[in-house]
Structure 1
Amino acid sequence: MAHERPVEPAGPRIRLDQPRVRRPKLLPEYDPEAFGRLSERIARFIGTGRFLVWMTAVIIVWVLWNVSAPGALRFDEYPFIFLTLALSLQASYAAPLILLAQNRQADRDRVTQEQDRKQNERSIADTEYLTREIAALRMGLGEVATRDWIRSELAALVRELDERGGPPGHGSDEADR
């Protein structure tokens, strides 16, 4: 009888010693950090006076063109539906971009606040350590004989000797001869 082979499943065999083949994703991939930086730049521009001046100028030109231009050249008649649509579209994109930029700024502020808090804790610990060291030095200096204290002790001894009449055994010069 012939040697029979096991039946292999149709399709590629799964191997655990090799990485899987990446499947194509339906959504496009993007760098969130780059997107965040772009959104901050846009939000920063939208918040400037330059943007307001340009937007006001565009709207004024738009309205004047569509009111005073010959009928065949007008592209948005009086109720200015297309202008309203364009401004709504701009607002619908600006709001999430501004919120994204604010969230990123809040994250940076939170990190900075945490770093400041840790630095303050280190400063407080250093101050407490130095305070203890100064107190220990003051206590140690209280036990050390200072120059003024030694002088006052010597002056007291000299006064005491003068009151007794001099050092013992030195009452007169004749005892020394």
Structure 2
Amino acid sequence: MSDREDRRVRLDQPREAGRGWRREGRRRMDAETFGKFAEGFARFMGTATFIAWMTVFVAAWILWNTLAPTSWRFDEFPFIFLTLMLSLQASYAAPLILLAQNRQEARDRVTQEQDREQTARAHADMQFLAREVASLRLALGEVATRDFMRSELRGLVSDLEDRLAGGEEEPTDGLADPTPR
């Protein structure tokens, strides 16, 4: 007995994981590929083209089985075979459409999560900028403004005019021009 057959027969050993009822040579269907097929199928079933072709198919079926000679008819009244075909189509369409919807919901969840993260980052950035603007306003409160500088210069000019009117000479500290104006 070979090693593989020995493992299959032995009851004291568990089977290999994933080997269950599947044959050795069979491969599993890729879920992503099947999901893409289901989405394409659901997308097609939701089009006017599908409805038009299905209407043409059903109308042709009914016309053939109503107007054709009796020996040529393959589905006589009450169209049992047509009902079977439509039921079969619906039984495959419903799970495929649900699978496509589930995949879309998963994509929507990911998109919503990314949107939430982006919104949180934008909110944090706005709070940071608001704090920066507030700190700039506070810092500007301590900076001499143009009006403050004008009032100080006016005060200095009036002090200088008072000194000159009182007969005092202008102080020469090297910055002012010593010649009278």
Instruction: Look up the match of 1:42.
Output: 41
Separation in 1, partners of 2:29, 2:166:
100
Separation in 2, partners of 1:69, 1:92:
30
1:96 matched to 2:95? The reply is yes
Cα distance change, pair 167–56 in 1 and its aligned pair in 2 (3 A): farther
CA deviations over 1:74-111 (Å, ceiling 9, x no partner): 00001000000000111111111111100000000000
Instruction: Look up the match of 2:12.
Output: none
Cα distance change, pair 162–38 in 1 and its aligned pair in 2 (3 A): same
Separation in 2, partners of 1:113, 1:39:
23
State the SS of the aligned residue for 1:133: helix
* Identical positions, percent: 56
CA deviations over 1:127-161 (Å, ceiling 9, x no partner): 10011011111111111123432122111222344
Separation in 2, partners of 1:140, 1:127:
20
Q: TM-score when scaled to structure 2?
A: 0.77
Instruction: Look up the match of 1:26.
Output: 22
Instruction: Look up the match of 2:132.
Output: 133
Q: Work out whether residues 65 and 74 of structure 1, in 8 Å CA contact, stay in contact via their aligned partners in 2.
A: yes
Separation in 1, partners of 2:166, 2:31:
95
Query: Which residues of structure 2 form unaligned runs of 5+?
Result: 1-5, 8-15, 171-181
Instruction: Look up the match of 2:147.
Output: 148
Size of the aligned set, in residue pairs, is 155
Query: Which residues of structure 1 form unaligned runs of 5+?
Result: 1-10, 13-19, 172-177
Cα distance change, pair 61–22 in 1 and its aligned pair in 2 (3 A): closer
Cα distance change, pair 113–126 in 1 and its aligned pair in 2 (3 A): same
Q: Work out whether residues 66 and 77 of structure 1, in 8 Å CA contact, stay in contact via their aligned partners in 2.
A: yes
Q: Work out whether residues 67 and 77 of structure 1, in 8 Å CA contact, stay in contact via their aligned partners in 2.
A: yes
Separation in 1, partners of 2:166, 2:143:
28
Cα distance change, pair 134–110 in 1 and its aligned pair in 2 (3 A): same
**Root mean square deviation of aligned Cα:** 2.5
Q: Which moved more, 1:107-116 or 1:136-145?
A: 136-145
